[in-house]
A and B are shown apart, each in its own frame.
Chain A
């Protein structure tokens, strides 16, 4: 059945970008892209031949009619104010969003099964995704691949902010790579180093893409990304020096033999004269790319060329810092969130969005998904910019149903230039049933990050034509226009305390309740239901005798 076109083959690319950050930290971003030249959804045929594409994922895609799948596991919070924008943003914890094919009839059923299967594949608690934390955003999450699906009935989005990411999630993720962790860039992925960092995020993105520029045939694209930020202070031991070996405790010796391209990029834009840091070995190969509205220059190390590895047959990039870490950044778009107020009855969620562009206003889509146990008072929703009321041009609000579905609030807000926009909404904390508390109820309950999606005005013209030889990190989100670029910003998740009974004293509670019921209720019940009668004092014998005679005579008795 699997007649393959002779010209089309699967492709694998790998890439590592190293960006010295403004704060003095180092950002390393891995991207692995596998292209699978098949279109099983269209042809409805059973695919059984897998070459580079992992079979476990391929089967999932076809079984659940998935059109697009994005899953990320993140430990830590991306510090936009210090690090700028990441290549691919992700919220703390686990995030999963899936577009199903529009032939699916039971989307919720598919979604439930899919999350359970993925839970097994990635060794994560994705099985905790159910209808109480799943939403269907109407505008915030558009498909990134081919096709123009707009019916958000086929979209499911869920986050698990409490999910902790560790090596058991990394291992299955590495197994999806064609070279595993045996060769190529993936030898660097050693968990003891990756989790000795300030930020760790790994993701899998699957979507249909064009096979070539004319888009004559489609292909499945699997992008595996891994972003990690290493801390200058904690690992540097005072020495401001970095190398691949220091970061990953490995050096590079070869490219993955299956890869068509295997490159390491080092961002040297801020370092044209070598005043900020010194990079060795030096490479004459430079490349320019437009990323996130900015033209960046990169030193490129092509691992497919043998001369890269030199005499020692290994490549160990070395970065020696000269400059000092700078002040905080002012990214064009920035958002944060917190809970205001005190006490366990009510509270207020504040979401603050900054537009730091000096003269351009732009709209953002804010999406908030709040669990049902925070009962939002939507009439208290206010949006203010520059201390004036800012009326959102689009509001999509779906109220929560207790124990069934969360609140979903989506708004299109115009951010005035150089402004701070504050979105506030009050809530009341619900009283849970005692079985609904998590094992550590006094830890608090999480509210997932809110998502701010925007087309931010670009400083330079964005590259709109899609070509194969663009670096992977600059080609993830399709660019539709030259003047702006797409950015998604996640705020921090919230930890909210709910009124919690004292679970450490069940014995006391049981004793007290039993006593109250036995003593209090019993005697009150007795008092309430008993009828009282005054006993007639018994008459003296003489009177009783007299009464006996009177009764016989038929005369009224004596009292």
Chain B
């Protein structure tokens, strides 16, 4: 502050910053990338540890042994599922009642905005069945949830079988302090959404459902089970939830602790842990695991049935059985014991899980990167935008006294008319609104006029509007205010830079991965953009670093990381399906990535596009 209140020294500082602006920005960008990649390096990360006292020191003995029963129940469930052609409601109700649960059902229906071609559904109608195991001498104020999906085909039968076997075993125990809800949900996330909305009596997505009859107070934690084969070799933990929300790290720690205790092979992002961090392969492995987490989190969708719980402040994770590592086989009873142990520890909780981190990245199950470690990587990127803005501000010759404090007041340009700046801003945002609204609303018209299905219509309309947006706005300011001036683009760029900085900053606070991925691609091009660059070349660069292409790259990188590389054609098809899934996720579960991209990021990018074609 002393530095700033002295006009001479301030002048020297701003001179330094403007003179060295470009090199500083370059250094920042490189430092950000290096910092981020360094996060996966084991010596730089922390070892995970159990923070919650109630789960750490207490001893739990696992005694679940009816693995065979679970498998036979799974077979029975499968048979009834085939007979009923969906959820075998009656059988399941009887099976749960026979195990001494209070059983309730909930029916729901949902018409998707357009057909979901990945899962082949449009009109969805289904029933959730759940049984509540009432804890003895507990006043129905707290509950834990265990869920298993009733999925079509052969998958997840074993999960339901294990769920029922666990219910039977749990019913005979006296130590429960929280009610336990055993839920079998139909139509995966849609059923889960219906149940959660019913339980909390809200309606945020326009779902139709019958009200719930039985409740058990506030849900403290939830576990979602996905087992599809009798032989399981390892368990995968899935944490990424809706809008990139993560459960408390203690839940992951709990899972890891029991895997260690029972000698169960466990993975995260499908990747086993390696111990050779000092070799190149070891580091690459950790970096890949972390990158997968970043990509999954960035896309903001729920990667398992657990993901929807997080909105309701319920810590939840999915556990998926994998049958892939030939040499390690474990029976269902071991998984049952693992779950028993986890549920018993959760049952011991005195408070909600809150002791450990909510913001973290996991390069492996035993190592984590906390928010304090990864935020600087984003901060270094964001500071580039601010430095460029400062540079422009000084260039514009604003009163030198307010150079830094003026950052917040930059919205009122003094020189050129407000109209010059406002026009492109408004037009860009209108394009964004069109991109947000039109694809879904125009699908019928598109289907009438073109030989495409509804889903294709929606996705292709979105792509078309996106492309059309590139042609539309960059000449409009001339109509209103004549020739664009040198000052005009500078003010526009200043505005756009600050706008982008605020947008990315807010995004990164909520969903670091999304903010970081967007910043990595958007910052270099937006920071360097001027109208005086060679048009064709820089236009190409801008398009290649636009939000849509960022998604495309993410698709390719993701496929590469999960070791299922795709050709360009397949990649393109995947890209289209990612867009349709994004729009569906927004409509069905309230994911915010699509509106964020359409209504804010894309218009912001268009403003820079505008600057490039300023004349």
Contacts and interface: CB of A to CB of B under 8 A. Distances in A.
A207 to B, nearest CB: 27
B1 interface: yes
Nearest to B54: A440
Interface residues of B, number: 33
Contacts, number: 104
B202 A341 contact: yes
A176 B139 CA distance: 27
B558 to A, nearest CB: 31
Nearest to A344: B313
- Interface footprint category on A: 35 or more
B137 A198 contact: yes
Interface in B1-43: 1-2, 4-5
B523 to A, nearest CB: 28
Nearest to A422: B211
B69 interface: no
B587 to A, nearest CB: 19
A136 to B, nearest CB: 25
B475 interface: no
Interface in A428-455: 440-444, 446
Given A342-B200, A350-B201, A493-B139, A527 B1 contact: yes
A336 B139 CA distance: 12
A279 interface: no
Given A338-B215, A443-B350, A492-B217, A200 B137 contact: yes
Contacts of B351: 440-443
Contact of A495 (B2, B4, B142, B171): B142
B137 A530 contact: no
A443 B352 CA distance: 6
B174 interface: yes
A494 B141 contact: yes
A494 B216 CA distance: 10
Contact of B201 (A340, A497, A524): A340
- Chief secondary structure at chain B's binding surface: loop
A161 interface: yes
B352 A196 contact: no
A348 interface: yes
Contact of B312 (A81, A198, A342, A526): A342
B354 interface: yes
Nearest to B350: A440
Interface in A478-528: 492-497, 500, 502, 504, 523-524, 526-527
Interface in B125-175: 134, 136-142, 171-174
Contacts of B201: 338, 340-341, 348, 350
Interface stretch (A71-79, A218-226, A268-276, A292-300): A71-79
- Which of B141, B171, B174, B354 has the most A CB atoms < 10 Å from its CB? B141
Contacts of B173: 234
A497 B313 contact: yes
Nearest to B353: A442
A500 B352 CA distance: 11
A492 B1 contact: no
B330 to A, nearest CB: 28
Contacts of A234: 136, 171-174
Given A327-B97, A443-B351, 7 more contacts: A75-B137, A234-B136, A341-B202, A342-B200, A344-B313, A526-B5, A527-B5
28 contacts: A76-B137, A76-B139, A92-B140, A197-B136, A197-B137, A198-B137, A199-B137, A233-B172, A234-B172, A327-B97, A328-B102, A340-B201, A340-B202, A342-B200, A344-B313, A444-B218, A492-B139, A492-B140, A493-B140, A493-B141, A494-B141, A494-B217, A497-B313, A502-B354, A524-B1, A526-B1, A527-B5, A532-B5
Which 3 pairs from chain A and chain B are nearest by CB? Answer: A92-B139, A523-B1, A340-B201
